[in-house]
Structure 1
């Protein structure tokens, strides 16, 4: 008989605990849902993290290339804004833009003053004018202008590695161009973390 009484008195306690356990998740869900809404409204956290802005120079499509125009060409010549007309292909028909050419635009920048350097193992020296090109946006040219003193120093060092044999052949001059591209990009990467120079051109080349 004592066991029966204990079982009857214990039963309501279990039921009470069950109701209590069911009620706690409901309260927690309500409180959690309300808290989450409040936190979102207060800006405590965002649904998705913000991606870091990519500040590296971007390639410029050929369609956005700045074209040079002939003097005196107004409206009716080269378009409303003075843009040059497409070059004529076979049969006198205009060549479609971008066909048979570079995929990206080219921007040019001539370095101020010419460079003079002794040739390696020779009594001769060279005097060259240098211009660079890039398929990237104006930030590369701005970087070149900003660090032109450091670039000039590196170019002179690269020219000092030039041999007499290189300056008298087209292949040798191309080797010099490649060396100067690497030298200029090395400075830009060190200073800005990005090179971007695709080629070097000689605007003047004298051997004495």
Structure 2
């Protein structure tokens, strides 16, 4: 038995040293990980600028950090058009690819419109308009169906519909992206029959 105890004692010492080495490595790793975490979070070293999650207004001539371009599979109308008017901010227009056709409220009349939306914000709004076009189309069709023919016979009625469409599009984008960004909706064509 004395030989068994003698042979086991060095093993215990080696196991103890192994545990000490492993424990040291764990502490060094945790320390290094903590240091990395401090650098990554900006607590140590150079603080990285955080990107604003919301689109930014773009001044005329300012380069868009999120350039938007149609992927070539869609009609040319899907490409943005940039306005050159007298405002301070750049205006970009998004043309919806298809017309909107709906029954009007309380009538046997139909409406068919072709729409464009404008924004003064960066290209993310244009990307979102394209990405969520199905949800936006649904909202536009609901707004058209809630409109009567009598409301559309005056200019003020058409302007009110534009405001409702703009508000509806911003609500859809807010639900999906946390930011609207549509400044106005325009009629490219407008037919009631």
Aligned-pair distance for 1:51?
5.9
Check if 1:59 corresponds to 2:57: yes
Equivalent residue, structure 2, for 1:206: 191
TM-score by length of 2: 0.64
Unpaired runs of 5+ residues, structure 1, are 1-38, 67-96
Aligned to 1:155: 140
Question: In 2, distance between residues paired with 1:173 and 1:142?
Answer: 27
Aligned residues: 137
Q: Take 2:92 and 2:140, find their aligned partners in 1: how far apart are those partners? A: 20
Offset of 1:46 from its aligned partner? Answer: 1.6
| The structure with more radius of gyration | 1
RMSD, matched Cα = 2.6
Structure 2 unmatched ranges of 5 or more: 1-31, 65-83
Q: Assess, with a 3 A threshold, how the Cα gap between structure 1 residues 122 and 65 changes in structure 2: closer, same or farther.
A: farther
Q: 1:140 maps to what in 2? A: 125
Superposed CA offset, 1:1-52 (max 9, x none): xxxxxxxxxxxxxxxxxxxxxxxxxxxxxxxxxxxxxx9xx55552686664
Q: Is the alpha carbon distance of 1:65 and 1:179 closer, same or farther for their aligned partners in structure 2, counting shifts above 3 Å?
A: farther
1:135–1:196 contact (8 Å) kept in structure 2? yes
Instruction: Report the equivalent of 1:6.
Output: none
In 1: Cα distance, 2:47 partner to 2:122 partner:
28
Alignment check: 8 A CA contact 1:130 1:203 kept: yes
TM-score (norm 1): 0.60
**1:193 equivalent in alignment to 2:175:** no
